[in-house]
């Protein structure tokens, strides 16, 4: 069965440092998509980055990059130069072929950026 695992319930990072949030996935499908979303304390769900299973290059969006290692089934989020506003919950999610973009979610990682 398809599954997303985020093993870090909470992370701390110093402002201006880089941080990596882990995500592993399980699927037998060859075609799938991986997402990262940010949920600040205000509650909204903010799209950060997307990686398709057939994309050869790692996705990047500004300070966010996705370290996609297909053989290891990992899709780690790297945030460079952390800012105080990066403090939030971060969710990894996946869609797969035939599930029509229904997202399967991990349990999330709470990131705290210290000044």
Partner 1 sequence: DSGVTQTPKHLITATGQRVTLRCSPRSGDLSVYWYQQSLDQGLQFLIQYYNGEERAKGNILERFSAQQFPDLHSELNLSSLELGDSALYFCASSPRGSEKLFFGSGTQLSVL
Q: How near is the Cβ of 35 to partner 1 at its closest, in Å? A: 7
| 105 Cβ neighbours under 8 A, 6+ residues apart | 4, 91, 92, 93
| 105 binds partner 1, rule: CB under 8 A | yes
| 33 binds partner 1, rule: CB under 8 A | yes
Among 18, 45, 84, 97, binds partner 1 (CB under 8 A): 45
Whichever of 25 and 91 has its CB closer to partner 1, that residue is 91
Whichever of 30 and 42 has its CB closer to partner 1, that residue is 42
| 68 binds partner 1, rule: CB under 8 A | no
CA distances from 18 to 77, 78, 82, 90 (A): 10, 7, 6, 15
| 72 binds partner 1, rule: CB under 8 A | no
Among 44, 60, 70, 97, binds partner 1 (CB under 8 A): 44
CA distances from 86 to 3, 48, 82, 91, 113 (A): 26, 11, 6, 13, 7
Q: Judged by CB under 8 A, which stretch of 14-22, 30-38, 62-70, 78-86 contacts partner 1? A: 30-38
Is-contact 85 15, C-beta < 8 A? no
The residues facing 90 across adjacent strands are: 38, 109
């Amino acid at each position: 069965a398809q599954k997303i695992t985020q093993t870090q319930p909470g992370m701390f990072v110093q402002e201006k440092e880089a941080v990596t949030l882990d995500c592993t996935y399980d699927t037998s499908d060859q075609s799938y998509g991986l997402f990262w979303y940010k949920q600040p304390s205000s509650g909204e769900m903010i799209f950060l980055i997307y990686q398709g299973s057939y994309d050869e290059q790692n996705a990047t969006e500004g300070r966010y990059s996705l370290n996609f290692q297909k053989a290891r089934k990992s899709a780690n989020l790297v945030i460079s130069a952390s800012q105080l506003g990066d403090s939030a919950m971060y969710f990894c999610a996946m869609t797969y072929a035939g599930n029509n973009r229904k997202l399967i979610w991990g349990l999330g990682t709470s990131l705290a950026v210290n000044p």
